[in-house]
Amino acid sequence: MSNFQLFGSIISTCLLGAASIASAAGETVQQDNTCFESRMGLSQVQQREIQPGVMNVKCSPTTGGVLFWGDPFDGTIPMGDMSVEADYSHEEAVVKPREPQIDRNKLLTICSMACHNGEYVPYPENKLARPLKMHKDIVPNSMQLKHGKGAIWCLDCHHAATRTKLIDHYGNEISFNQPQKLCGKCHGQVYRSWRNGIHGKRIGMWQKGGKKRWWTCTECHNPHDVEQGNRNSGFAQLIPEPAPVLPKGMSNADHERGHGEQAH
Amino acid sequence: MSKQKTKEKDANGATRRDFLRKAGTYTAASLSGAAMLLSDPKPAKATANVSWAEHFQKNYRLMTDEEKQEAVERLEKRYSEEFGKKVKVGSEPALEGVLFGYALNIQKCIGCRRCVKACVAENNQSRGEKQQIEWIRVLRMEKGKFSAEDRDVHGYPEDYGIQVGGNAYKPAGVVLEGQHYYEPDQVPEKDAFYLPMQCMQCEKPPCVKVCPVRTTYRDPDGIVVIDYNWCIGCRMCIGACPYWARRFNWGEPDLPAEEMNPDTHYLGNRPRMKGVVEKCTFCVQRTRKGRWTGCVEVCPVGARKLGNLLDPESDVRKVLASKKVFRLRADLNTYPKFFYFMD
Ligand code: SF4
Ligand code: SF4
């Protein structure tokens, strides 16, 4: 295989990867026993038996959302060091690594070597915003990034040369598995609440000293589309679980819609 | 003196049967549940399987440890046969030095109802069209519609919203019912917010005050529990609860064996029978073993927090210390341990 061919096949793999992400994001029903935790399409879990009769997760048959963790710590790794003294210092804190989710179509593995190698796509000379030719599935319009109201751009968060990493204020690399170190740079108040355990999500043992799995920022929020917009929430919209069954003899719930018109 | 003694003995030694005998003068409605339970001409399987020993056991709270053990083993055997798997019925007592409290961030809740379904999966409620029991309800609250024209006519918006309306000529348009059956394609919606409700584990629970057989009571960790075996189905507690937290098994519960959660507690999610009341117990089968409840774990936006109110370092205490917090119907002096908060 000539170099040219190899290059072409790598490019098409990149594109293929991008295309399947787009379809995954629009998916509504669960496929091959895959459910999602908080972000549809980007926090997928494969259902499997972890002990006889015990599944790692139970999922909603209607929306594919996880309803129950058989083992709350399945597939997790230690949270690792944090530069700021946090409450979990005396508790075992684990996280689910984000890299496999981001890399599930080999986006991380291939593109950082093949595309962003400084040659095919030269390293940018400055951090000024400019229209992107690729990755429009992730950021449809890079000139209007839905985060930071025009004040930030790709390289404020992504490492300019090592695309498998994020960066801190000093340009040091941050793993995709620990996005809180990046997000906490600006969102100090939320970061503090998160460390205190009152912002964000944790599962496992509530007791002091008990082991906990912490959700990291990008397990709930889409950093490329975090502005609230019409949905009125920093969280993406989801399909709700079905409404309760109507009481016997009631054929619809019109009585509770537009209350004022009839009732008041 | 001796007369007084006899009287005391009477009060303390009253049995449930005494109560039933006296209850003739009470209300007929309060007994219909018990009557239904005992005289059903064609009892379905689960109810028929309730053994005589179960019918005539003591109130759980008054049992000795050995009696509790017996009761639990009896149930484990019956459930394991009925559901075709090894069922565990726990009897873990209240944890020392713990008072459970809950905090829910209504600013975060997106109304996805995952907590509702997760609760059903965890707590073995009856499901399906015929008799669906859900312990959590999520209310959708509409925001008001304001327009300049309306202002001139009504003073405030009249039709919609929980904002108070009305003026000197119109009654206040307060709408606090919320919507139970909302079904948009996607949540959250722009013009709504959501308010989940479940048992608030009141410190002064009105449901406990009204129970004529004292089968529902507050355990020392603050959880209001029910001994289903002593419930006579009178449903007084349902009427007394201001938070619509209690549900009644009007018919035989429908719990498919393959969906049954075998990790249960006597006072919590063990399968119930026809004719008894049930409600949220903060997943007593989990929390007394240190694990978070099903709803806390499942909420995709992390709106739900549970912890020990006696521990200043707990999540709940941190919420109380640093957020804006309110409780529902605080005016009723029920002292709920379920707090709502905003960032
Ligand atoms: S919320 Fe209702 S059921 Fe729960 S303790 Fe209070 S009164 Fe009782
Ligand atoms: S799971 Fe969380 S976000 Fe969804 S309805 Fe329940 S409390 Fe609200």
Buried b (16+ CB within 10 A) or exposed e, B294-321: bbbbbbbbbbbbbbbbebeebbbbbbbe
Say yes or no for a CB contact (<8 Å) between A87 and B185: no
Please count the CA atoms within 13 angstroms of the CA of A31 that sit on its side-chain side.
9
B200 ligand 1 Cβ < 6 A: yes
Mutate to test the interface with B, among A241, A254, A255, A257 (most CBs of B within 10 A): A241
Contact residues, chain B, for A232 at CB < 8 Å: 188-190
ipTM of predicted complex: 0.83
Neighbours of B256 (CB within 10 A): 9
- C-alpha gyration radius of chain B: 22
pLDDT > 50? residue A223? yes
DSSP 8-state class, residue A143: G
A164-200 pLDDT tens trace: 899 988 889 999 998 998 999 899 999 989 988 899 9
Q: Which pLDDT value is given to residue B2?
A: 41
Task: Give all strands (DSSP E) within chain B, no chain letters.
Answer: 88-90, 100-105, 137-142, 192-197, 216-218, 224-226, 247-248, 263-265, 277-278, 304-308, 324-326, 338-342
B105 Cα to the center of ligand 2, angstroms: 9
Which among A37, A67, A202 has the least Cβ separation from residue B118? Answer: A67
Measuring CA to CA, how many Å separate A136 from each of A22, A101, A102, A132, A140?
Answer: 10, 19, 16, 7, 4
CA atoms of A234 and A1, how far apart (whole Å): 47
What is the average per-residue pLDDT within B152-158? 54
Task: Count other C-beta atoms under 10 Å from residue A27's C-beta.
Answer: 14
Which chain B residue is nearest to residue A200, measuring alpha carbons?
A: B302
Chain-chain contact of A204 with B173 (C-beta, under 8 angstroms): no
| Beta carbons of A204 and B291 less than 8 Å apart | yes
Cβ separation of A256 and B290 shorter than 8 Å? no
Lowest mean pLDDT among A24-38, A110-124, A200-214, B85-99: A24-38
Q: Which of B195, B301, B305, B339 to mutate to test the pocket of ligand 2 (most atoms within 8 A of CB)?
A: B301
Tally helices (H) and strands (E) across chain B: 13, 12
Residue type, B72: V
Range scoring the smallest mean pLDDT among A245-259, B124-138, B182-196, B264-278: A245-259
Q: Would the pLDDT of A111 be above 90? A: no
CB of B211 closer than 6 angstroms to any ligand 1 atom: no
Q: Cβ distance B198 to B280 under 8 Å?
A: yes
- In ligand 2, the atom with minimum distance to the C-alpha of B301 is 3
pLDDT beyond 90 at B292: yes
Interchain proximity B292–A259, CB inside 8 Å: no
How many angstroms is it from B223 CA to the middle of ligand 1?
A: 10
Give one DSSP letter per residue of B299-330, joined into a string.
-TT--EEEEETT-TTSHHHHHHHHSEEE-TTG
Q: Which of ligand 2's atoms lies nearest the C-alpha of B194?
A: 8
pLDDT beyond 50 at B310: yes
Size of interface A-B (CB pairs under 8 A): 164
Name all domains of chain B by residue range, CATH numbers in brackets.
Answer: 52-136+198-342 (3.30.70.20), 142-187 (no CATH)
In chain A, residues with a C-beta closer than 8 Å to the C-beta of B121 are 58, 67-68
Residues A224/A147, Cβ–Cβ less than 8 Å? yes
Q: Which 3 state secondary structure label does DSSP give B112?
A: coil
* pLDDT score, position A13: 39
Nearest to A164 by CA among A236, A125, A111: A111
Nearest beta carbon to residue B117 from set A38, A60, A245: A60
Buried/exposed A171-198: b ≥16 CB within 10 Å, e otherwise: eeebebbbbbbbbbeebeebbebbbbbb
**Residue that is written with structure tokens 């929306």 in the block:** A63
Collapsing DSSP states into helix, strand and coil, what is residue A108? helix
CB contact under 8 A, A198 and B301: no
Q: Give nearest CA residue, ligand 2 atom 1.
A: B299
pLDDT in tens, B22-34: 444 434 444 444 4
Nearest Cα of chain A lies from the Cα of B161 at a distance, in angstroms, of 8
pLDDT at B223 over 70: yes
Residue A81 has pLDDT above 80, yes or no: no
Question: Would you call B181 and A240 a contact, using CB atoms and an 8 Å cutoff?
Answer: no
Give ∠ CA A196-A146-A102 in degrees, rounded to 5: 70
For chain A, give the number of residues. 264
The residue-averaged pLDDT of B140-155 equals 65
Residues paired with residue A93 on neighbouring β-strands, in sequence order: A212
Q: Are B170 and B188 in contact (CB under 8 A)?
A: no
CA of B222 to the centre of ligand 2 (A): 24
Judged by its nearest atom, the ligand closest to the C-alpha of residue B299 is 2
* Strand B338-342 versus strand B100-105 pairing type: parallel
Per-position DSSP letters for A41-98, written without gaps between them: TTSEEE--EEETTEESEEE-TTT-BEEEESSTTTT-EE----SS--GGGGS-EEE--S
Amino acid (1-letter code) at residue A188: G
Among B256, B251, B228, residue whose Cα is nearest residue B83: B256
Classified as helix, coil or strand, B225 is strand
CA–centroid distance, residue B10 to ligand 1 (Å): 30
| CA angle, B131 then B132 then B135, to 5° | 135
pLDDT by residue (tens digit) across B48-79? 566 777 878 889 999 999 999 999 999 999 99
Residues of A in contact with B103 (CB under 8 A): 198
CA–CA min distance B171, chain A (Å)? 8
- Cα A116 to Cα B206: distance, rounded to the nearest angstrom: 66
Q: Is B119 in the pocket of ligand 2 (CB under 6 A)?
A: no
Chain A residues within 8 A of B102 when measuring between CB atoms: none
Per-residue pLDDT, B43: 43
Whether the pLDDT of residue A264 is over 60: the answer is no
**pLDDT exceeding 70 applies to what percent of chain A?**
81
Q: Which two tokens stand for residue B266?
A: 């006597």
Q: How far is B151 from chain A (nearest CA, A)?
A: 16
Dihedral angle sign, alpha carbons of residues B124, B128, B134, B140 = positive
List the one residue out of B19, B11, B77, B3 whose CA is nearest residue B230.
Answer: B19
The domains of chain A are located at 2-229
Q: What is the per-residue pLDDT for A161?
A: 86
The reported pLDDT for the residue numbered A86 is: 55
Residue of B109, B134, B141, B182 to mutate, ligand 2, most atoms within 8 A of C-beta = B109
Residue of A68, A193, A256 lying closest to B180 (CB–CB) = A256
Helix intervals (H) in chain A: 3-25, 99-102, 107-114, 154-157, 180-183, 188-195, 217-220, 259-263
Residue B158 to chain A, least CA–CA distance (Å): 6
Give the one of B134, B180, B298 whose C-beta lies nearest to A67's C-beta.
B298
**Is the minimum distance from the CB of B269 to ligand 1 under 6 angstroms?**
no
What pLDDT, on a 0 to 100 scale, did the predictor assign at position B144?
Answer: 62
Q: Which residues of A touch B92 (CB under 8 A)?
A: none
User: Which residues is A165 bridged to in the sheet?
Assistant: A175
* DSSP letter, residue B46: H
Whether A43 and A37 have beta carbons less than 8 Å apart is answered as yes
Q: How far apart are CA B164 and CA A260, in angstroms?
A: 12
> How far does residue B194's CA lie from ligand 2's centre (Å)?
8
